[in-house]
Structure 1
Amino acid sequence: MHTAPAAHSTSASAAPVEPPATMRAAVLTAPGIENLRVVDVPVPRPEPGWVRIKVMAFGLNRSEYHSVTGQAGGMSYPRVLGIEASGVVDHDPDGVLAPGTQVVTMMGGMGRAFDGGYAQYVVVPRQQVIPFHSTLPWDVIGSVPETLQTAYGSLTTGLDLQPGQSLLVRGGTSALGLATAALAADMGCTVYATSRREAGLELLASRGVTALRDNGAVAQQVRRRMPEGVDAVLELVGVPTLRDSLLATAVHGVVCFSGMLSDSWTIADFYPMDWIPNGVRLTTYSGQASDLPGDELQRVLDRIEAGALDFLPVHTYPLEDIVQAQRDMAAGARTGKLVGLPWD
Structure 2
Amino acid sequence: MNAIVISQPGPAEVLRLHQLPRPKPAPHEVLIRVAAAGVNRPDVLLREGKYRGSGDVTGLVPGLEVAGTVEACGAAVSRWHPGDAVCALLAQGGYAEYAAVDARHCLPVPASWTYTEAASLPETVCTVWHNVFQRGQLRPGETLLVHGGSSGIGVTAVQLARALGSRVMATAGSAEKCAAVRALGADLVINYRTEDFEEALRTFGGADVVLDMVGGPYTVKNLRLLRDDGRLVFINAMQGAAAEFNALDLMARRLTITGSTLRPRSAEFKAALATAVEQHVWPLIATGQFRPVMHRTFPLAEAAEAHRLLESSRHIGKLVLEV
Q: 1:310 and 1:105 mapped to 2: Cα distance?
A: 18
CA change 1:139–1:299 in 2 (3 A) is: farther
Q: 1:217 and 1:243 mapped to 2: Cα distance?
A: 13
**What is the Cα deviation at residue 91 of structure 1?**
1.2
Q: Is 1:199 the counterpart of 2:166 in the alignment?
A: no
CA change 1:271–1:244 in 2 (3 A) is: closer
**What is the Cα deviation at residue 275 of structure 1?**
7.4
Q: How many residues matched?
A: 309
Q: Is 1:58 the counterpart of 2:37 in the alignment?
A: yes
**What is the Cα deviation at residue 43 of structure 1?**
1.3
Range with bigger deviation, 178-187 or 88-97: 88-97
1:251-293 deviations in whole A, cap 9, x for unaligned?
1111111233x252x215x354277473222121334532434
Q: Which residue in 1 is equivalent to 2:87? A: 104
Q: 1:124 and 1:282 mapped to 2: Cα distance?
A: 33
Q: Which residue in 2 is equivalent to 1:71? A: 50
1:54-111 deviations in whole A, cap 9, x for unaligned?
112111110110122221232432111112212222111306231122323224xx22
Q: Which residue in 2 is equivalent to 1:278? A: 252
CA change 1:208–1:132 in 2 (3 A) is: closer
Contact 1:170 1:245 in 2 (8 A): no
Q: 2:117 and 2:283 mapped to 1: Cα distance?
A: 12
Look up the equivalent residue of 2:213 and give its one-letter code.
Answer: L
CA change 1:91–1:25 in 2 (3 A) is: same
**What is the Cα deviation at residue 297 of structure 1?**
3.1
Which runs of structure 2 are paired with 1:130-209 in the superposition (5 Å)? 130-131=107-108, 134-209=111-186
Unaligned runs of at least 5 residues, structure 2? none
Q: 2:216 and 2:118 mapped to 1: Cα distance?
A: 32
Contact 2:87 2:106 in 1 (8 A): yes
Q: Which residue in 2 is equivalent to 1:4? A: none
Q: Which residue in 1 is equivalent to 2:4? A: 26
Range with bigger deviation, 58-67 or 234-243: 234-243
CA change 1:198–1:274 in 2 (3 A) is: farther
Q: 2:112 and 2:159 mapped to 1: Cα distance?
A: 21
Root mean square deviation of aligned Cα:
2.3
Q: 1:221 and 1:128 mapped to 2: Cα distance?
A: 40
Identity %: 28
Contact 1:235 1:258 in 2 (8 A): yes
Q: 2:95 and 2:313 mapped to 1: Cα distance?
A: 20
Q: 2:2 and 2:233 mapped to 1: Cα distance?
A: 38
Q: Is 1:334 the counterpart of 2:312 in the alignment?
A: no
Q: Which residue in 2 is equivalent to 1:35? A: 14
Q: 2:239 and 2:87 mapped to 1: Cα distance?
A: 28
Look up the equivalent residue of 2:65 and give its one-letter code.
Answer: E
Q: 1:165 and 1:139 mapped to 2: Cα distance?
A: 33
Q: 1:140 and 1:133 mapped to 2: Cα distance?
A: 9
Which runs of structure 2 are paired with 1:183-332 in the superposition (5 Å)? 183-209=160-186, 210-214=188-192, 217-226=196-205, 229-260=206-237, 262=238, 264=240, 266-267=241-242, 270-273=244-247, 276=250, 278-279=252-253, 280-287=255-262, 289-294=270-275, 296-297=277-278, 300-301=281-282, 303-304=284-285, 306-332=287-313
1:1-47 deviations in whole A, cap 9, x for unaligned?
xxxxxxxxxxxxxxxxxxxxxx2111112112222111222212223
Contact 1:218 1:245 in 2 (8 A): no
Contact 1:304 1:311 in 2 (8 A): no
- The TM-score with structure 2 as length reference comes to 0.87
CA change 1:306–1:161 in 2 (3 A) is: closer
Unaligned runs of at least 5 residues, structure 1? 1-22
1:293-343 deviations in whole A, cap 9, x for unaligned?
43633664454454333342342111121111111111112111111111x
Look up the equivalent residue of 1:325 and give its one-letter code.
Answer: A
Question: For 1:84, which of 65, 71, 75 is the aligned residue?
Answer: 65
Contact 1:50 1:123 in 2 (8 A): yes
Q: 1:247 and 1:277 mapped to 2: Cα distance?
A: 13
CA change 1:271–1:230 in 2 (3 A) is: closer
Look up the equivalent residue of 1:71 and give its one-letter code.
Answer: K
Q: 1:76 and 1:123 mapped to 2: Cα distance?
A: 19
Look up the equivalent residue of 1:250 and give its one-letter code.
Answer: R
Q: 1:271 and 1:326 mapped to 2: Cα distance?
A: 34
Larger radius of gyration: 1
